[in-house]
Amino acid sequence: MDIPPPYKLQIKIGSNEFSAEGPEPVVTAAYEKWLSAAATGRASTNADLHTPEVNPILNLGSIDIASLHRLYIIDNDKKIVSLKHLPSTSTNRDSDAAMLILYGYKRLLQVDDVLVTRLMMGLRISGIHIKRLDGVMAINKDWVRKGGSRIGGRYTLNNQGIIQAENLARKYSDQ
């Protein structure tokens, strides 16, 4: 007997996000509950929908936008995200800065795949000058995905990377 693949559903309406994976009837029921809660303004996360059958993939947004703006500088014309202050207490300062910039793209510009050229520019503006990004990103290889090659290369935070980057952002936005 073949087991059907899990049903996946991800949707964002305004600041409300729903993301679940599991048997289709369970995901559909959870989505309907979320949709009615979101329509009344009572739900902005999946936290109140968690059941043993539904595993929310991610719940972004535990850091408020004001805290993020204390951490980042956004150049809307060039679509570049940079840091106002570098992670000074970190032994992996450069790789932590790259993770934070990737997180800034995700949260502030809603960009998942960040071109290597934009990430390098964001690091330079932040005050980090490196020749190659791949060595810096190798430190966080478990938390990022790399796609493309050369000038078309891009980095994306995976789910665990988003959690790690959000923890870093929380730590450094309070400084």
Average pLDDT over residues 77-90: 85
- Per residue in 13-36, pLDDT (tens digit) is 767 777 777 677 777 777 787 777
Q: Which residue bears the tokens 């850091």?
A: 63
- DSSP element (H, E) containing 83: strand 80-83
DSSP 3: P
- Write the pLDDT tens digit of every residue in 135-174: 889 988 899 999 988 778 899 999 888 888 988 888 877 6
Query: What is the value of pTM for the model shown?
Result: 0.65
d(C-alpha 49, C-alpha 33), whole Å: 8
Q: Could you tell me which of 164, 91, 71, 86 has the C-alpha nearest to residue 124?
A: 86
Decide if pLDDT at 87 tops 90: no
Residue 79 has pLDDT above 80, yes or no: yes
45-78 pLDDT tens trace = 444 444 333 334 444 556 777 788 889 999 988 8
DSSP 3-state of 168: helix
Under CATH, what is the fold of the domain 65-173? Arc Repressor Mutant, subunit A (1.10.10)
Q: Where are the domains of the chain?
A: 7-49, 65-173
Cβ burial of 161 (10 Å; 0-12, 13-18, 19+) is: buried
Residue 3 reports pLDDT greater than 80: no
- Portion of the chain with pLDDT greater than 70, in percent: 78
Distance CA 166, CA 98 (A): 13
Average pLDDT over residues 89-118: 89
Q: What is the pLDDT of residue 89?
A: 65
Closest-CA residue to 133 (of 146, 161, 169): 146
Spatial separation of the C-alpha atoms in residues 58 and 137, rounded to whole Å? 22
